[in-house]
Amino acid sequence: MIRPISRYGAEVLHQPARPVSDITPEITQLVDDMIQTMYAAPGIGLAATQIGVPLRIFVADISLGRNPADLITFINPEFVERDGMQLEEEGCLSVPGFNATLARPSRVVVKGLNRHGEEQVIEGTGLLARCFQHEMDHLEGTLFVDRLRGLQKDLIVRKIKKLSRAGKW
């Protein structure tokens, strides 16, 4: 089932998510819904907080569904390593219509559970590293806009507030 995506300003997006205690049929259904929602958006990643569920789960697929083997699910993920630096433009399904250039490590290693409860450790470089970090930020209650500084952040936040007042957000 495709679920609505929460937008910048929604409380659930600005609070840390809780760990998943058990992988139940409800959690499996949530993962399926997240995958459908991510592909429908379309996006390359989606955190559970983005669909209003404050749990530490994210899905990612930088192939946008073109390569089924690229679909990754993480439950209770944590960083093992981060190094290097990349400076690239980033957007977010919860902040539609806005992009900004952000510095992030160019390589990360993430460990956590897959959808079957099995431990996995996955290294990401380039776009996959950026995607993992972006989704992990969501699980901490941080959006890419929160990482911006000064005028760039002010402009985006002001435009969002204006859209919100006009009922278009």
State the catalytic residues. Answer: 135
Q: What distance, in Å, lies between the first and last C-alpha atoms of the chain?
A: 23
Of 55, 60, 92, residue with least CA distance to 73: 60
